[in-house]
Amino acid sequence: MNNTAEIINFRAPVRREEHRVADLDDGYVRLATLILEELAGADLTKRQFKVLLAVIRLTYGWNKSRDKIANSQLSEIAKLPVKRVSETRVQLLKMKVLTAAGHQIGINKNVSEWDIPQSEGLSLKSGDKKSPKAGDGNPSKQGDSIDIIPKTVKTDPPKAPKGEFSEEVISQAKQVLEYYNETTGATCRSAEPFAVLLSEKPTRAAYTVADLKLVVLWVARTWPRRGNSVAKPANICRVNRFDGYLSDADIWQQNTVDIDCGAVVEAWNEITEGRLPPAELDHDRAANIREMTGHLKHKTVEAFRMYFSAFMSDAREFHFGGPDGSGWRASFDYVMKLETLRKVREKSL
């Protein structure tokens, strides 16, 4: 009898790794460069970044600026518990990085409204006595503890030590503050944000009063408002953005025309004589009037009167709420569209 034992070799299972390679054909996100730059420099926690990226994936990833998004959807992408996602979502809404419209959320494209707590600026060099300990002092810590938004959010430019501003700079800053309040209708009291930019620094020359007034006017005329809220001096005077603001304001000034917007609205109300809805001047309409002025041959109120008269002459019954219009009537905002101007010129209303 043969007692030879049979030896069977059990080979360890071969683990196959899935190689994942990104490809545009599988989808991509079309995102404004400014938002990407702001996110790169934002002092957010790891959890906040994860939720933000998930929101971007579920909105811009589907060519939408905002959408109805459940916390469970964000949780699946961000790899976070639903409870933590809910907490973080509330934080981002409070900081105005996310906006909500009804049940829809999305990235706030008006990055000047972002209200993100800033780090204390402590040194991170090894051996530095001022270096923060792990988990202390820096809101950008990457730990797993619950994210907490400080009660006091600092949005002002860095404050200068007492006595740093000369009497001349303080006087100039007060001039700009007075101009800001007159232009925006605000009642701000602190001129310090302007004084920071009017002071020369080792890394840059001092800006001038004319520079600051130009940017203030550009902001007041072009930046969208929420209700009666206007951008505050602290937002306008961000040192790392002001160069860009000034460049945009210069281009805007070269292409803009100063016109009496109130007279344009009055001309509309007079010419339409109640046949079409009357208009009242507001910030958005003033911006539309200035933009439209650049497309008229003559940059005058009289040119607008001629345009309104031509529209009234060529308009069809549809524009006055006729049968095909189902009661809709052309408004001032409709006539201020470039497409409507083109149709009047081509007599194709």
Instruction: Please indicate, yes or no, if residue 2 is contained in any of the structural domains.
Output: no
Query: How many angstroms separate the CA atoms of 239 and 223, rounded?
Result: 18
Q: What is the pLDDT of residues 96-107, one digit of tens each?
A: 999 988 888 999
* Shared domain check, 250 and 267: no
| Residue 86 CB coordination number (10 Å) | 14
Give me 300's structure tokens. Answer: 């005058």
Question: Which residue, 113, 134, 155, sits at the end of a domain?
Answer: 113
Instruction: Please indicate, yes or no, if residue 141 is contained in any of the structural domains.
Output: no
Of 224-228, 269-273, 308-312, where does mean pLDDT reach its minimum?
A: 224-228
Strands of 102-257, DSSP E: 104-107
Mean pLDDT value of segment 328-345: 91
Query: What three-state secondary structure class fits 296?
Result: coil
Q: What is the pLDDT of residues 64-74, one digit of tens each?
A: 888 888 888 89
* Shared domain check, 324 and 266: yes
Instruction: Please indicate, yes or no, if residue 137 is contained in any of the structural domains.
Output: no
The whole-number pLDDT of residue 134 equals 43
Mean pLDDT value of segment 200-218: 90
**Size (the chain), residues:** 349
- State residue 99 phi and psi, 5-degree precision: -125, 155
* Shared domain check, 266 and 246: no
Instruction: Please indicate, yes or no, if residue 12 is contained in any of the structural domains.
Output: no
User: Which has more pLDDT, 249 or 14?
Assistant: 249
Q: What is the 3-state secondary structure (H, E, C) of 63-121?
A: CCCCEECCHHHHHHHHCCCHHHHHHHHHHHHHCCCEEEECCEEEECCCHHHCCCCCCCC
* Shared domain check, 222 and 270: no
Instruction: Please indicate, yes or no, if residue 267 is contained in any of the structural domains.
Output: yes
* Shared domain check, 270 and 249: no
Give me 227's structure tokens. Answer: 């209700």
* Shared domain check, 270 and 246: no
* Shared domain check, 319 and 290: yes
Query: How many angstroms separate the CA atoms of 331 and 180, rounded?
Result: 32
User: Which has more pLDDT, 117 or 170?
Assistant: 170
**CA angle 149–151–154, rounded 5-degree value:** 90
Inter-residue contact 168 to 209 (CB < 8 Å): no
* Shared domain check, 265 and 250: no
Instruction: Please indicate, yes or no, if residue 337 is contained in any of the structural domains.
Output: yes
Give me 308's structure tokens. Answer: 């309104």
The whole-number pLDDT of residue 4 equals 62
Distances (CA, A) of 264 to 156, 217, 279: 38, 20, 10
Confidence of residue 136 (pLDDT cuts 50, 70, 90): very low
Residue 52 belongs to domain with CATH number: 1.10.10.10
Question: Which residue, 233, 255, 277, sits at the end of a domain?
Answer: 255
Q: How many domains does the chain have?
A: 3
* Shared domain check, 275 and 237: no
* Shared domain check, 268 and 241: no
Instruction: Please indicate, yes or no, if residue 126 is contained in any of the structural domains.
Output: no
The whole-number pLDDT of residue 103 equals 80
* Shared domain check, 274 and 239: no
Judge whether residue 113 has pLDDT over 70: yes
List 101's β-bridge partners, or say none.
Answer: 104
The separation between CA 165 and the C-alpha centre of its own chain, rounded to angstroms, equals 31
* Structural domain boundaries enclosing 236: 167-255
Q: What is the pLDDT of residues 168-200, one digit of tens each?
A: 999 999 999 999 998 888 899 999 999 999 998
Instruction: Please indicate, yes or no, if residue 215 is contained in any of the structural domains.
Output: yes
The whole-number pLDDT of residue 145 equals 46
Buried b / exposed e along 233-269 (16+ C-beta atoms within 10 A): bbbbbbeeebeebbeebeebeeebeebebebbbebbb
Question: Which residue, 235, 255, 275, sits at the end of a domain?
Answer: 255
The separation between CA 112 and the C-alpha centre of its own chain, rounded to angstroms, equals 5
Tokens 């990055």, located at residue = 111
* Shared domain check, 273 and 220: no
Query: For the purposes of burial, counting CB atoms within 10 Å of the CB of 110, is it exposed (0-12), middle (13-18) or buried (19 or more)?
Result: middle
